[in-house]
Amino acid sequence: MKPNTTLASLRYLSGYPPQIQHQALALIEQGRLAAYLLDKYPEAHQVRSERALYDYVVEMKNRTMRKAPPVNKVLWDSKLHVIRNALGTHTFQSKVHGSKLRSSHEIRIGTVFRTAPDGFLRMIVVHELAHFKEKEHNKAFYNLCCHMEPDYHQLELDMRLYLTCLELGQKLY
Ligand SMILES: [Zn+2]
């Protein structure tokens, strides 16, 4: 493995303190990153179709954010992983239909999560659902994420380690 490849692949961890980046780098250099992830997350989820994804999102929304407006559309989006750091998107539109104002919520999840452990998909869905209430990535937003998924921060770190693995050409599932 070329060292510059290794450093470039750490872009997914650029928001973390140096200590965490060094630990990740050590795992990569020792060739243990994939094993670390597979040990914690032995299997991929089975949510493959768009219908299954829609049901997954709606079920989670009804369990955690019952009062929020309904989700209209849920899609796997193959373009999302191309734009680094946009792993999912949530769009809200208000349209005037005659005299009525209708809102629509659409969630797109990067296809990179179609073959991934359930925890990573859950973390991304929680993130996008939290945007129903908080548009910004502020403290209230992350409090909401942790309320819906207590392990949110650990899952995000592991999910970024997983993307790092893929970047290094190691397919796990
Ligand atoms: Zn966000």
CA of 121 to the centre of ligand 1 (A): 14
pLDDT score for 135: 87
pTM: 0.87
CA of 134 to the centre of ligand 1 (A): 9
95 forms beta bridges with: 102
Pair type for strands 73-77 and 88-97 = unpaired
CA of 131 to the centre of ligand 1 (A): 7
CA of 15 to the centre of ligand 1 (A): 14
Residue 102 pLDDT more than 70? Answer: no
Q: What is the pLDDT of residues 31-79, one digit of tens each?
A: 999 999 999 999 999 999 999 999 999 999 999 988 888 898 999 998 8
CA of 36 to the centre of ligand 1 (A): 27
Position 109 confidence tier, pLDDT thresholds 50, 70, 90 = very high
CB atoms within 10 A of CB 143: 13
Q: What is the pLDDT of residues 110-133, one digit of tens each?
A: 998 999 999 999 999 999 999 888
